[in-house]
Amino acid sequence: MTRLIRGGRVVTATDAFDADVLIDGEAIVAVGTGLSGDEEIDASGCLVLPGLVDNHTHLSMPFGGTWSCDDYDTGTAAAAAGGTTSIVDFCIQYVGGSLKDALAEWHGRADGAAHIDYGFHCAITDARPEVVAEMEQCVAEGVTSFKVFMAYKGALMVDDEQFIAVLEQTGKTGGLVMVHCENGDAVVRYQKEALERGDTDPKFHASTRPPEVEGEATSRAIRLAEWTGRPLFVVHVTCEEAVKEIQAARDRGLPIFGETCIQYLYLTVEDLDRPGFEGAKYVCSPPLREAYNQHVLYQALRQGALQGISTDHCPFNFKEQKELGLGDFTKIPNGLPAIEHRLTLLYDRSVREGHMDIVDVVRHGSWGPARIFGLDKKGAIAPGFDADIVVFDPEVKHTISAETHVMNVDYDPFEGWEVQGKPRFVFSRGDTVYADGQVVSEPGRGRFLKRSLFEPALG
């Protein structure tokens, strides 16, 4: 059966125009006028966008003695409700373990649970030679990106020798290395000094991870990538110090890429200093920054220094999970819930306020991530692409609240925000997954995405 989305304004990564979209089965087969289909969906007054791609999520992730509280059912349902139709989640290797075992564990969590399509990055935390050798099999299985952490010493952090080994291996097998840039040794020292002074509140999370530790690590990561002749993707860029390093590298012709996340565009370090222990709700790493960095991030997106806007969705309940850090901010689980709000916030707080155009939302939230992370049939409204489509009503007004969101978490960092714009319908490979305020898909319809290699031109 064919379905026709009629009367909307189609938005791509380059332009916007009035057109109808014809779906046959799982794919888009035509975009234009004078089309007909067995079923019609009225998109009058709406924007018709490719489903967003969130290349940075942490579902059911172990961290600090607990687990992120959205699993592949609730997390992907929340993504669908917000107009995201594909995710690439982080599979975490345990220290002493193998990549094969880590991937098997993450496949087990996702299989039969996901509402939308998903892929994996593999985070390497223990780059022993035999683990590095496993990267070739990961690429063969469609896991074509690998992450290393320069922070979280004693848990996730790798040293420079291990980082170089991972970079060099991608020169043999292909694949893109991603990096969390913070100087983990400096963070540990600053945290120790803060606790010795009796500085235990959530606000000290930011002061012990200052922009300089992100800038230094970004510079070092870029140099390691340059030495090994490999591309690099810097995740969750937050500040001017890191942006300057990325832009300087790109000015030298290096294939350095990066993203920011919605929390860094809309929240600030002041949120960590909310009364009582409320600031714990806003603890993530790198931390929220001074407001002036938001202008820097928008400029970096406009100029092409950054190519994506993700969420780094990693939710922990305030009760019992964030509260693990009462009296010691270093024990607060790091992460925010955001997977459901990206499209609405980008439209309301970025497009409507003049920071970007709706075309930029598609470029940074769908098309760009799909190209970089090898999702060859995602990110565009064009014949031959998967029918991952959002019919977005730009006029509907609503209030963000933990009482109404789909995410499985007991608070919302954007609680009480009055916003304009919301998905009316969301389609994943032609199936309706969200309609008129409700997730209507069943767990398990989402498929694992084997991703292609990203090999930018070097030099």
Q: Which residues form the domain of 119?
A: 51-373
Beta-carbon count within 10 A of 30 CB: 18
By CB neighbour count within 10 A (0-12 exposed, 13-18 middle, 19+ buried), where does 328 fall?
A: middle
> What 3-state class would DSSP assign to 151?
coil
- Residue 393 has a pLDDT of 98
- At residue 458, the pLDDT reads 44
153 in the same domain as 280 = yes
Same domain assignment for residues 45 and 81: no
First to last CA, the chain: 48
Does any domain span residue 447?
Answer: no
Instruction: Count structural domains, the chain.
Output: 2
- What pLDDT, in 10s, does the model give residues 185-236? 999 999 999 999 999 999 999 999 999 999 999 999 999 999 999 999 999 9
Report, as ranges of residue numbers, the positions in the chain whose pLDDT lies below 50: 457-459
- CATH number for the domain including 428? 2.30.40.10
Residue 396 CB-density burial (10 A; 0-12 exposed, 13-18 middle, 19+ buried): middle
As beta bridge partners, residue 22 has: 4, 30
Least Cα distance to 285 among 183, 147, 166 occurs for 183
Please tell me the distance from the alpha carbon of residue 46 to that of residue 39, in angstroms, as a whole number.
18
What residues pair up with 6 in beta bridges, in sequence order?
Answer: 42
Cα distances (angstroms) measured from residue 82 to each of 28, 266, 391: 21, 17, 11
Please tell me the distance from the alpha carbon of residue 412 to that of residue 401, in angstroms, as a whole number.
6
pLDDT for 456: 63
Query: Are 50 and 364 contacting, i.e. CB atoms less than 8 angstroms apart?
Result: no
DSSP codes of every residue in 385-402 = SB--EEEEEEEEEEE--T
Whether residue 257 lies inside any domain: the answer is yes
- Asked if residue 147 and residue 107 are part of one domain, the reply reads yes
- Helix and strand element counts for the chain (H, E): 13, 19
Token pair of 434 as six digits = 């969200």
Q: Is residue 339 part of a domain?
A: yes
16/381 Cα distance (integer angstroms): 11
* Residues 23 and 57 both lie in one domain: no
Asked if residue 156 is part of any domain, the answer here is: yes
207 secondary structure, DSSP code: H
Residues 40 and 167 in one domain: no
Sequence length of the chain is 459
Same domain, 68 and 210: yes
Residues 167 and 295 in one domain: yes
Q: Are residues 140 and 177 in the same domain?
A: yes
**In angstroms, how far apart are the furthest CA atoms of the chain?**
71
Does any domain span residue 414? no
The SS3 assignment for 104 reads: helix
- Distance of alpha carbon 166 from alpha carbon 234, whole angstroms: 15
Residues 41 and 179 grouped into a single domain: no
Q: Is residue 185 part of a domain?
A: yes
Assigned domain for 408 exists? no
Does 445 map to a domain?
A: no
Residues 7 and 90 placed together within one structural domain of the fold: no
CATH number of the domain bearing residue 107: 3.20.20.140
Q: With CA atoms as reference, report the closest residue to 282 among 260, 312, 307, 258.
A: 312
Do 313 and 432 share a domain, yes or no? no
Asked if residue 289 and residue 241 are part of one domain, the reply reads: yes
Question: pTM of the prediction?
Answer: 0.97
Residue 115: count other Cβ atoms within 10 Å of its Cβ.
29
